[in-house]
Structure 1
Amino acid sequence: MEKLSDKQLVTARQEFKPYLASNHNVFSKLKLKTPLSAFSQKLNTTFESLGCVGYNAAKKQLTATINIKRTTGYSGSLCTNGSYEYVRFYMDYQNGDGWEDMGVVGVNVHDIATSKDCDGNNETPINYVVRLDINPKRANCTSANLPVVRAVLAWNVIPEPNDPELTIGTYVWSDKKDAQIQMDAYKFFIPNFPIFELDDLFHSAILNPNISLNQLSVEHPEKLSVLNKAKASLMPKALSFTELSGLYNSEKIKPHRFGYKELHQAMHISDSIAYNEISNMFEVNNWNLNDSLVDLNTLNCDTQYEELVCVGADYHREALVGTIKIKKSSGYNGGLCTAGSKEYVSFWIQNEENCEWVHAGTSHVTVHDIQEVPDNGLFYSVVLPYHFDGLKKDCTKPQVLKVKAVLSWNVAPDGMACSRWGNILESYVQLQPKRVFEGDGPEIVAIGGVDIDYINATGLTIPSAHFKFTGLPVTSGSAFGGLIIVEAETNAFDGQRYKVRVDNMSDGSSYYVSNSFIMDEAIYVSNPDPVTNEYTYYGDASNNSLNAVAKFYHPTNDAIRITIEHMDGTSFSKIIQMDNASPVLELNIENYGDCSHFIKGLPIKGDFSVSESHIEYYRLSTNINNVPVTILEHVTPTNPADTAFSGNFEFTASTTKNCGAITLYAKPRTIVNSIKMHDGRHLPKTICLKGN
């Protein structure tokens, strides 16, 4: 394929959507300026590419860093809808089952003009991080669980599911990257955990979910003793200096590595007694403290054990993320059944007004000695939730900031100085535009995972809606079901009290939400006042990155009005349409009963019906004729008010097959649990055939 100029590349991006929407066989009729060969290629990384792939075990999140390389080609400025970069993750647990599709997540990107940082350098590339929550397979700490992760990036097209080899979908503007990660071990399958002694407590806790284990054991000293024993056993043992010295003696790992924490302490204490205690500990184990300090002082930004390889920001869920590569099999203070050691990353943001660095915070991951570390290393992601509200600007002034990350092993970084073990990495991140906030009262930002700007007056979603924290598209005209998450301005009212009222628009009933809920992946619970039903705003990003103010279930299929009330009388309301019902399907086959009575080569007849208040489409298909899969009906209703559909069908049975199925499928336009679209409902009926 001939190489395209920059101008031609931008044109190709503009014409990509028309190309996808067309029948590729009539490409010439489109009269596009871009040659077909440009759309026939795969893995073009001119505009975007994958940086790092990693995993955060504490949050159970896969991460991928996306490098946005250019200023144009992303379908519009920050004041427009822009476009989306999607990443689908696969995992291979290396157990013979092959790749498992873990899901997909996206990020909203735009044309962002290049500006200069405080040092006069171009602020490119911009590094975005996407995070996917997963439910991984785990194992005991006695064996390492090191799956391979594959990330597949695609611009403006969701990568095809179950396509790890990129053979089915469209991957023109795309990239692919593999990395090996480490799953955390089960916590209860450890030596000395009193699982049987806790049986009564667990039984009581399950039957009384509003009462904690601590509360259940308060009046029973023997149970409290068992609970304390369980807590102690859950804390993996930290190996002592003496144990580490013996462990690493044969591997010739010196104390300026495994004793770094003690050496760091010795360098910063003025108490001679404490210093002598450390010196004696070294001497007892046949090491010299002064020699070890000399060895340590020869190091600066040493990356032979670990290295910070990517830094970026989660645009939607607002967090700073650093990806670490672990390079060796030992030297991390113990195996998976021990406390191991910590890799700290301290994040700094440069204030463009005065070019000073502002400390955003420090986070860490736990690492261990793992004998099966691959040659390319293991990749861990350090996540620091951070609210950027005070740094955001209007969409006409895109905010791109320089971020500095400092990695330090087993000792938290001291300012921005390079650690003995670790390194420093800088990158550029882009913030969401500042939301226009009117008035002094509350404001709902999103309901059911969708920004309220994309929910119409009747409570249904409108075109171009996307899930707020995954970037995935929401079908236009969708209702809401399952768990309803209400997100609102929280930082502006941190510490103030509020209530959440729900009004049923059909029967006039009303109630205040009064349940406790977990605010985020961190186990922080928001509890309402049992008398007044008042909650407290909690704006700490580390525990409430979703800005959640309520999580509740409303079981009806009616429209409801959700209102946040402040104690000063101010309030904010939004209506959503509920739909908790699944499609009702009927499929009747003439003379259906004993499926073996159908004759090969003869007609099979029947009728079907579909009932669904918010239907996207339904489909009737079979694989019992001579064509492997034939769609007999595929209808997308043109009138949203239509809720009931029916019809008849007839087709000729296969002359060679012995069995198969007729399947009726309906896909509703319903958001489920504030995180995804409804999967739809299948109704299959098995057909068996016999000869004449």
Structure 2
Amino acid sequence: MKTDDSGRKQASRQPEAKSPPPPIVPEERARFRALVMTNPNYFGNIQASPFPPVLNIKLNTTYERLACVGFQPQFNRLDAVVYIFQPNGYGGGICSSGSQEYVRFYLSSDDGASWQDAGLTSFFAFDIPEGSTGRRRLEYAVTLRIDPAKRFCFLDNTWLVRAILAWNVPPPPDTPNFVPVWGNIHNTHIRVDPLRTILIEDLLQHAGLSLPPVLAEMIDAKQEVKISPPKVLGTRELQALYKGRDVEPHRYALGELHDLVSQPELTDVLMAPGFTGVLTELDVDIADTLFPAQSSTRYEQLECIGLNYEQDTLVGVLRIKLPNGYSGGPCTAGSKEFVTFWGDFKDDGTFATCLGTTSVTVHDIGRMPREGLEYSVFLPVDLDRYRRTCQEGPVLVPIRATLSWQVGAPCDNPDYIPVWGNRLDTLVHVRAGRGPAPTGRQPIIDTIGSMALTDIDGAGYASGPAQLAGFTAVQSPFGGEVVITGHIANPTDISSGAGPLKYRVIVNGGNGDQLLANTFPLARSQLLDGVWSFLPTIPQAVDAAGFYTYQEDRTGAPGNAEIFVLGNVLARWDTAGKTGAWQVRMEVKDAANVVYAGNPSIVRLDNAGPRIPAGSFKITTETSSCADFVIGDVIEGTYQVSGQHFSSLSVSVQPALGGNFTAPLPLPRTYPAVPTTGEGGVWRLDTSGMPRCGYVIRLGASDRTIVDSGYVGWGAEAFVGLCLKLATA
């Protein structure tokens, strides 16, 4: 954090007056899961369902509403902010399991003609009477990393995003028109950053050129070419660019005006005899411009702020409204939208604790959607010192955020009035801790295999949406590369010259401790005075004692850079060949060689995947491996799939030119309808209506393993072939 205030006890919140009794939760809310399990279409929100509706409820936002969705293009982050309105109706208090608020994202590059399922994320909501009763709503944020295709800077790359919020039941995959019962749908447009490196072959293709044969043999067209850094446009260039475009001079000249006032040496230049800079040609009152009585939201507006509960990251979503006025298009450096956050840990309205400034880069855009573009900003914050156990009650913190274009709000002035921008206040919930707030260099593991530790049970199985990755686990073990993320409480200030901490990660599968000692690339970012930059990727390697060097520095101040590890990665564990239950723990060593031990976690490993025994998938109607059949025949065969953590099987025809599988049904068959160890049986294909052709029948199987921390399911497949002919007279 940037500035501290006194005492952890100040995080406690007491209502100023006796709160009214919480409202009664209606049966359709309290018994929601039981009702939809009895009748999936109980509330009439499912199209073409065989189940008749009993009570019509759709898109009800009494309890929660998805308010904003924004994109941070420099980090490929989708951020959504969800409002929680009621003091109860969420399944229990913070010492209970509460209930989940699910958000599924969809992407469209053709303005909604087709949709790509980008993945699911969620957060836990709880009954918190101290929050919403007589106070403000609580605001939570969720985040998903995406990887949309990038294009040249002079080509339009606007995408449509759809986010679906659904309480207590996740929106089904690949169903962009799903209508939730409790929740809502939010559509918005985002702008993807342009390419910064390109392949030679792509450059030639776009230019309509080809290399002469003699050069084609010498040059590797797959090589990347780095694009020149985008140009920063000066005030005179912006004056020419915006001529006739209704952009005020005190808009495009703001940065230079601010520099002249804040840097005395530049002011002396301005006042020197004979100075003829472009600013002297503009009809701008510097005092009124830089110190306005009221902000302007003509160009941009901060619309939502929230806390990502699992990642301790503050999020802001802002809307860009106009096509011009952002210091140049995507081929230029553009401009910065700064957001500064403050926390009111005393709850006295002073917002005395500055938590820091962050930003996002924006540009002019030629094809501006009618409703504008939504961008997001994020700021990692250290809330460990304020965390309490759930038995001590919820920690609720008022947060203030100020959006200020091109010139960040000063950290020591929570009442700052920006020239362009606005201010928002809200209330956030700091997640409960396992014990007292750490006072030393305590190691904290946040996720294993992209799953929060709270979503991994005592046997090592994970269930629920992943953090950032977009997949959903169901009693899932782990396999492949298991990424371990987290942080160290109270890290040293590396940027000011302090020595870094050391840490090591230890795993134990029952045959003794093993140190993770592999070298892996570590990507880092830096936040300095609200501006993000990317540091060179370094090889993260252990020293002679098996300790990695901790690279994060969250002890920032104005002019003192903060350094973050992308994804908070601590270690990458290659689990190939390993199976069973493994313990994972972390230790930290400071400069005085004091070692701090973290709490161990258990994960279950499965690197075997599903199995299709040789010869078990076959055609039994005929004995040959590639038999001939007549159109209209019903072809029969057998299958057998097995696995320790089986998930699903499917049978399909390639090419897909018709046909109907009458067994096994339904298809695909999934766990838990299929036992966790797999199943075998008979498959039947009715070939009526299929054209004469050669076909392949494919059996596909997958398990529930989280593979390489990025997706679910080791896979296996088998094939049999056949030919369909016309019936002879």
User: Which of the pair is proportionally richer in strand?
Assistant: 2
Q: C-alpha deviations, 1:510-562, integer Å up to 9, x for none? A: 45423134367866657234433311335546614755421221211323443
1:564 matches 2:586: yes
Given residue 158 of structure 2, which amino acid in structure 1 is its aligned partner? L
- The equivalent of 2:505 in structure 1 is 500
1:351 offset after TM fit, Å? 1.1
Residues 98-123 of structure 1 show CA distances to partners (whole Å, capped at 9, x for unaligned) of 2222222111111111348xxxx943
SS in 2 for 1:147: strand
The 2-side partners of 1:665 and 1:461 are apart by: 24
1:307–1:326: 8 Å Cα contact kept in structure 2?
A: yes
Deviation at 1:432, TM superposition (A): 0.7
Match of 2:275 in 1: 280
Cα pair 1:621 1:630 within 8 Å, conserved: no
Asked if 1:583 is matched to 2:610, the reply is yes
Size of the aligned set, in residue pairs, is: 637
Comparing 398-407 with 588-597, greater Cα deviation is found at 588-597
1:164 aligns with 2:185: no
Tell me which of 672, 676, 679 is aligned to 2:707.
Answer: 672
- Name the counterpart of 2:257: 263
Aligned to 2:319: 325
Could you tell me which residue of structure 2 aligns to residue 351 of structure 1?
A: 345
Q: Residue 3 of structure 1 corresponds to which residue in structure 2?
A: none
Which residues of 2 match residues 380-529 of structure 1 at below 5 A?
380-396=375-391, 397-414=393-410, 415-416=413-414, 417-436=416-435, 442=443, 444=445, 446-452=447-453, 455=456, 460-461=460-461, 467=466, 474-476=473-475, 478-488=476-486, 490-492=488-490, 495-505=500-510, 510-518=514-522, 525=538, 527-529=540-542
The 1:253/1:299 distance shift into structure 2, 3 A limit, reads farther
**For the residues of structure 1 that align with 2:272 and 2:623, how far apart are their CA atoms?**
86
Unpaired segments ≥5 residues, structure 1 = 1-5, 28-35, 207-226
Structure 2 segments unaligned to the other structure (5+ residues): 1-21, 44-51, 205-210, 493-499, 526-533, 555-562
- In structure 1, distance between residues paired with 2:262 and 2:491: 41
| CA-to-aligned-CA distance 1:545-587 (integer Å, 9 cap, x gap) | 7554212212113234434345556655444332223322252
Contact 2:161 2:190 survives alignment (8 Å): yes
Determine whether 1:549 maps to 2:549: no
**SS state at 1:485 partner:** strand
Q: Does the CA-based 8 Å contact 1:447-1:484 persist in structure 2?
A: yes
The percentage of aligned residue pairs carrying the same residue is: 29
Q: 1:656 aligns with which of 675, 689, 710?
A: 689
CA distance in 1, matches of 2:434, 2:118: 32
1:375 maps to which residue?
370
Q: 2:184 aligns with which of 175, 185, 191?
A: 175
Aligned to 2:84: 68
- 1:112-131 to structure 2, matched below 5 A, reads 112-115=128-131, 122-131=134-143
What is the deviation of 1:421? 1.0
CA contact (8 A) 1:317 1:469 kept: no
Retained in 2: the 8 A contact 1:10–1:72?
Answer: no
**1:12 aligned partner:** 28
AA paired with 1:580? N
SS at match of 1:267: helix
- Tell me if 1:305 matches 2:299: yes
Superimposed CA distance per residue, residues 387-444 of structure 1 (whole angstroms, 9 cap, x where no aligned partner): 2212222213112211111111111112320111111111121111122269987565
Letter in 2 for 1:409: W
Is this contact kept in 2: 1:514–1:533, CA < 8 A? no
Of residues 613, 630, 634, the one that matches 2:644 is: 613
Write the distance in 2 (CA, Å) between the matches of 1:471 and 1:74.
23
What SS does the aligned partner of 1:181 have?
A: strand
What is the one-letter code of the residue matched to 2:418?
S
User: What's the secondary structure of 1:21's corresponding residue?
Assistant: helix
Q: Secondary structure at the match of 1:12?
A: helix
| SS of 2:150 mapped into structure 1 | coil
- Whole-angstrom CA distance in 2 between matches of 1:279 and 1:610: 86
The farther-off stretch of 94-103 and 380-389 is: 94-103
Would you say the 8 A contact 1:502–1:561 is kept in 2? Answer: yes
TM-score, normalised with respect to structure 1: 0.81
3-state secondary structure, aligned to 1:412: coil
Q: Judging changes above 3 Å, is the alpha-carbon distance between structure 1 residues 600 and 283 closer, same or farther for their aligned structure 2 residues?
A: closer
Give the 3 Å change call, closer, same or farther, for CA 684–175 of structure 1 in structure 2.
Answer: farther
> In structure 2, what is the equivalent of residue 534 of structure 1?
547
CA 339–576 in structure 1, closer or farther in 2 if over 3 Å, else same: same
| Contact 1:86 1:155 (C-alpha < 8 Å) held by counterparts | yes
Question: 1:255-287 CA distances to partner (integer Å, 9 max, x unpaired)?
Answer: 211110121223334445233369935458733
Secondary structure, counterpart of 2:564 in structure 1: coil
Contact 1:624 1:687 in 2 (8 A): no
The question of whether the paired residues in 2 share the 8 Å contact of 1:139 and 1:186 is answered with: yes
How far residue 385 of structure 1 moved from its aligned partner, in angstroms, is: 1.6
SS at structure 1 position matched to 2:93: coil
1:273-305, CA deviations, whole angstroms, 9 ceiling, x for partnerless residues? Answer: 23336993545873356x465556566311111
Q: Distance in 2 between matches of 1:438 and 1:391?
A: 7
> How far apart in 2 are the matches of 1:147 and 1:564?
41
1:118-267 → structure 2 map (5 Å cutoff): 122-166=134-178, 171-189=180-198, 234-267=228-261
User: Following TM superposition, by how much is the alpha carbon of 1:19 offset from its aligned partner in structure 2, in angstroms?
Assistant: 1.6
Q: In the aligned structure 1, how far is the partner of 2:509 from the partner of 2:38? A: 44
1:176 corresponds to which letter in structure 2?
I
Paired letter, 2:548: Y
Whole-Å Cα distance in 2 between the matches of residues 194 and 93 of structure 1?
22
AA matched with 1:553: D
CA separation of 1:93/1:664 partners in 2, compared to 1, >3 Å: closer, same or farther? Answer: same
In structure 2, do the counterparts of structure 1 residues 354 and 8 end up closer, same or farther at CA, with 3 Å as the change threshold?
A: closer
Q: 8 Å contact 1:625–1:653 — kept in the other structure?
A: no
- AA matched with 1:256: H
Bigger helix fraction: 1
The alignment partner of 1:261 has SS state of helix
Are 2:118 and 2:470, in contact at CA under 8 Å, matched by a contact in 1? no
Is the alpha carbon distance of 1:525 and 1:683 closer, same or farther for their aligned partners in structure 2, counting shifts above 3 Å? same
CA contact 1:322–1:383 (8 Å) conserved in 2: yes
Contact 1:350 1:403 in 2 (8 A): yes
Distance 1:82 1:665, change over 3 A: farther
Which amino acid in 1 is paired with 2:504?
K
User: Contact 1:242–1:285 at 8 Å: present in 2 too?
Assistant: no
CA contact (8 A) 1:245 1:285 kept: no
Partner of 2:560: none
1:155 maps to amino acid: W
Give 1:587's aligned amino acid: F
- Tell me the equivalent position of 1:46: 62
Counterpart-to-counterpart distance in 1, 2:31 and 2:258 = 58
Taking a change above 3 Å as real, the CA distance of residues 49 and 691 of structure 1, as seen in their structure-2 partners, is same
* Two-structure CA RMSD over aligned residues (Å): 4.0
- Deviation readout 1:340-389 (Å, 9 max, x if unpaired): 11111111111136554211111111111112112211111111122221
Contact 2:649–2:701 (CA under 8 A) maintained in structure 1: yes
The answer to which of 556-565 and 421-430 deviates more is: 556-565
Write the letter of the residue equivalent to 2:259.
Q
Q: Is the 8 A contact 1:587 1:609 kept in 2?
A: yes
Farther off after superposition, 576-585 or 358-367: 576-585
Q: Is the 8 A contact 1:149 1:180 kept in 2?
A: yes
